[in-house]
Amino acid sequence: MFASTSEPRTKTGCSIGSTFRYQRREPEKTLLHRIVREHLATFLAEAAERYPSGDIPANIRAEFERYLRRGISV
């Protein structure tokens, strides 16, 4: 899986003595997150008017809601 080296590796592929530090991505600070957050209610209301069943498929709504919850500590 990894090139053969004399340094022992962790499961992520970093050498054991490396200075790798995890850095959280903060999706709530991205432009996409802001647009979805600000316009999701309007999108859902308009979609409800357009779909014959009166709503968008549940899995689509759930994905948008899950995306907005990502990265937000509760």
3 has pLDDT over 70: no
- Give residue limits of the domains in the chain: 27-69
pTM above 0.75, yes or no: no
In whole angstroms, what is the distance from residue 26 CA to residue 15 CA? 26
> Residue 12 belongs to what H/E stretch?
none
Over range 2-17, report the average pLDDT: 61
In whole angstroms, what is the distance from residue 61 CA to residue 74 CA? 20
pLDDT of residue 62: 93
Over range 38-52, report the average pLDDT: 90
Over range 2-31, report the average pLDDT: 72
> 21-41 pLDDT, tens per residue?
888 788 888 999 999 999 999
Task: Report the DSSP beta bridge partners of residue 35.
Answer: none
Indicate the pLDDT class of residue 65, thresholds 50, 70 and 90.
very high
Cα separation of the two ends of the chain: 38
